[in-house]
Copies of this chain bind each other. A is one copy, B any other.
Amino acid sequence: MDQYSKDLKVKVFNIEAGRLIAILNEKDAREFGVFVGDRVELLNLRNHKKTVGIIDITKSVVSPNQIGLFRDIVDKLEIKGNELIDVKPTGRLKSVEYIRKKLNKEKLNEEELFQIIKDITEDRLSDIEAIAFTSAVYTVGFDLDETVYMTRALIENGKKIDFGVDNVVDKHSIGGVNGRATMIIVPIITTEKLFMPKTSSRSITSAAGTADAMEVLAPVDISFEKVRAITKKHGGVISWGGSVDLAPADDKIIKLRHSLSIDPEGQVIASVLAKKASAGSKHVVIDFPVGQYVKVKNKKDAAILAKKFIYVGKQVGLDVEVVLTNGDDPSGLAFGPALEAKYALEILEGKRFDNLAEKSCELAGSIFELAGVCRQGQGYNKAKDILKSGKALNKMQEIIKAQGGKIFKSTQILYSPLNFEVSAEKNGKIVGLDISLLTKMARLSGAPSDKNAGIMLSKNIGEKIKKGETLLTVFAENERKLKIAYEFSNSVKVVKII
């Protein structure tokens, strides 16, 4: 309800809330006719700075005729001390009406989705409203048009890197497995005059994200401008995505929906493609791990989803290809930032060629084919040749140097002397490795916070092992965590040998 405005005295809370919260006394809230979660327009009468605040209501923290503001709003309004600001209820946002439309099972048009994403980006929608939107998209669904609108809205409401050229490529793994392939693919690809400005994530629930592993070799907290500059000069970069500001509304939505683990298909497609398009990519290979324990269980479902990615990509100017990979076996044998970085360097140095190397060459090959660097069917071999020739290693060392790193060789990364081994209890063939238990054990040992903690497997699925032979080694940075991981290792079975 539209009401008159009122001048209230600011009470500053010196805390960053990460949200634009304005606290009213319940008496003023009643006078305004507003509830928790409604919005007010705040105007600093001295300097005419304006912002929107989302209301919280209290009986005691602020008095009548006062308004409690956290640092976020205090900074925006450049408030000095307890000055008076003008407070006025804004009425209902249009985007709330659009969220209601989706809750009522109606289709949203391009303008409506744009407004919702704009208001999420600019913190005008509350967390409550944003998660209601996501829940509605999850239960009601998006059709392909809506997915395209959402993708465009995410791109438009964020920064964009424009290289002004057509040969920018990228790859993305659905479900986050095969992550360390990035550290092999980027140097292979960028030997061939292609740009690959990779922004990667840190791990939250796994033993290491690509950004965590790369950080062992070089700084990854690189500004938007530096990502651009390094890419232009060297072809590639492996940075942490949190330090650039591509499709920020997407990051907010992902954080909100985390505790519920809901990932509406339309939002996932929009999320992946918007990030790629914002980073200036033209050709994108999407890695779909298919298997029992990953999101996509069979090839039929994968094919349906792949078509949607390709269609939506086309609408936002992306040339998309989908590659199905084996999602059940561990890619590589390392779990933990330093161990995974060492492992990736060993592949680049030609010391190993295993399933992680193969997957990397397969994905790099698809990128080559998609970008027209070689003919269909020749990509894998081309990638493998580059890897074997040592050119990819040289390129990786060039990128590490450009990012300001100091570790260029696998032998510079030392194993922690604090470790224990787990050995096989019988002779046989390894037919199963429980990745979720291995991940948990690696995390108990300290990964990813402790860079040198984690697990190195000695054998992968399909290999033979003898009773008493080492199956894996667990490393830690301190005795306490080593002990916790050791106790855990005694309580579970991570390997199946027949």
Contacts and interface: CB of A to CB of B under 8 A. Distances in A.
A117 to B, nearest CB: 17
Contacts of A140: 139
Nearest 6 CB-CB pairings of A with B: A135-B135, A37-B259, A31-B449, A35-B258, A139-B139, A132-B135
A204 B135 contact: no
Interface in A88-136: 92, 96, 99-100, 103, 105, 126-129, 131-132, 134-136
Interface stretch (A53-61, A178-186, A379-387): A53-61
A16 interface: yes
Given A103-B262, A135-B135, 13 more contacts: A1-B443, A3-B443, A4-B484, A30-B203, A30-B448, A35-B259, A92-B259, A103-B135, A103-B139, A128-B128, A128-B131, A128-B259, A136-B139
A304 interface: no
A15 interface: yes
A420 interface: no
Q: Which has the most chain B C-beta neighbours within 10 Å: A18, A131, A136, A259?
A: A259
Given A35-B259, A103-B139, A60 B129 contact: no
A255 interface: yes
Contacts of A35: 204, 255, 258-259
A308 interface: no
Nearest to A264: B103
Interface string A253-285: 001101111100000000000000000000000
A144 interface: no
Query: How many monomers of this chain does the complex have?
Result: 2
A193 to B, nearest CB: 37
Contacts of A2: 440
A498 interface: no
B259 A204 contact: no
Contacts of A138: 103
A33 interface: yes
A164 to B, nearest CB: 34
A36 interface: yes
Contacts of A37: 255-256, 258-259
A470 to B, nearest CB: 25
A38 interface: yes
Nearest to A62: B15
Contact of A96 (B34, B105, B255, B260): B260
A103 B255 CA distance: 18
A27 B260 contact: no
A227 to B, nearest CB: 21
B30 A259 contact: no
Interface of A: 1-4, 13, 15-16, 18, 27, 30-31, 33-38, 56, 58, 60-61, 92, 96, 99-100, 103, 105, 126-129, 131-132, 134-136, 138-140, 202-205, 255-256, 258-262, 440, 443-444, 448-449, 484
A100 B33 contact: no
A236 to B, nearest CB: 26
Contacts of A260: 96, 99-100, 103, 128-129, 132
A30 B202 CA distance: 9
A258 B37 CA distance: 8
Q: Which has the most chain B C-beta neighbours within 10 Å: A58, A132, A258?
A: A132
A260 B101 CA distance: 11
A202 B105 CA distance: 33
B444 A3 contact: yes
Contacts of A33: 204-205, 443
Contacts of A1: 205, 440, 443
Given A128-B131, A448-B30, A36 B100 contact: no
Contacts of A203: 30
Nearest to A29: B204
